[in-house]
Amino acid sequence: MKRIVLMCALVMLLRSASAFTTRALVSGTQKSRMTARKALSVTRHGSSLTRKRRHQGIDRVPFLNQGLAQAAHTRLFSTTEDTAAPSTTSASTEEELPQLLLHWSDSAKTSLRVSWTDTPSSTTPSHAYRIDYSRDGVPNRLTLGGTSREAMIRGLHAGSQYDVAVVRVEREGLAEKVVGRARLETGKVVEAPKGELTELSRLEIRTGKILEISRHPEADGLYVEKIDLGEADGPRTIVSGLVKYQTEEELLGREVVVLANLKPRALKGITSHGMLLCASNEDHTVVKPLSPPPGVALGELITFEGHRAAPEPPGNRAGKAFDRVAEELGAGEDMIATYKGIPFMTSKGPVTTGMAGSIS
């Protein structure tokens, strides 16, 4: 009898254990399913979030810190709206190069003048400039003399596009640095005002600056000057008879006005490539060089309202044209240089004389 009671108790105990195990298994399965659903939900949400962030231009990179905390890095572009276009942003560890404004003037179908400003390091006093320009990938190079910050680019194709870079070259160590870039198109730059073709039109009168001056070794009354007209081949040598009227100190570094297309001629063994234009009083006891207004680029062409700018090549034709207009050149009490009352004009205003009188 006792055996029967023990067997019944054992059967009941086994059934109870089996039921508990089954409930535990079911509960574990349900918990696993719930965990899986949560994981799937998180995964789906994460994928949606990733797609959303990537659409906004941002990648989210997960890392193990405080559960689902995330870190982000920003690309070189970002968009905030579906229809917004990406805006590029440069990123570089290299030293940023200054990009200075290039100015264009004296344009023609096959040439134009470029000028710029630059402030080299005070520790590098010796430098020069070079212009690199290309059309359809074909490179060209123009090396400038001295420290000129202007140059005439010639031999261009009309109606063509050019990529231009101005490079500063340090003579010590041959270091190079781009100081300005531009893309230009010939035939679309504003030209000098149109007008009638006259004798005055044939003259090439330009602004310049005296870089060097010395006494002529063979003539006591003459100076030999190096004048920068912004030309690619460097300053011009010009001989002038100003020893009686101006000291070397007064002329050195002065901005002046030059008749640039006269035929070169030798004066006591030194060839002069132009004439320094000056004003003088009636008895020729006071003589002063003409002065362009402040801020005018070196080599800028002087224009006259109503007269077309069409300079002759250097030679006798320009000399004859000057002889025909010389008597009408002068300045009144306002000290503005004129031809028949028409001012010598630059982009910054009229040329002045410092005195009333004639111009030669």
- Token match 């190096």: residue? 226
- What count of residues does the chain have? 360
The 10 Å Cβ neighbour count of residue 235 is 22
The per-residue pLDDT for range 256-287, each reduced to its tens digit, is 999 999 999 999 999 999 999 999 999 999 99
Instruction: Please tell me if the domain spanning 103-185 has the same topology as the one spanning 200-359.
Output: no
For tokens 């008895």, the residue is 283
Hey, where are the domains in the chain?
2-74, 103-185, 200-359
Identity of residue 344: F
The model scores a pTM over 0.75: no
Report the C-alpha gap between 350 and 354 in whole angstroms.
12
- The residues near 252 (Cβ < 8 Å, ≥ 6 apart) are 210, 212, 213
Look up residue 120 and give its two tokens. Answer: 């080299």
What CATH number belongs to 200-359? 2.40.50.140
Q: Which residues of the chain have pLDDT under 50?
A: 20-22, 24-26, 29, 31-32, 35-98, 122-123, 188-192
Backbone angles phi, psi at 251, to 5 degrees: -90, -30
Instruction: Report the CATH number of the 103-185 domain.
Output: 2.60.40.10
Q: Determine contact, residues 360/326, Cβ cutoff 8 Å.
A: yes
Distance (Å, whole) CA 322 – CA 337: 15
Task: Give residue-wise pLDDT tens across range 104-116.
Answer: 776 666 777 788 7
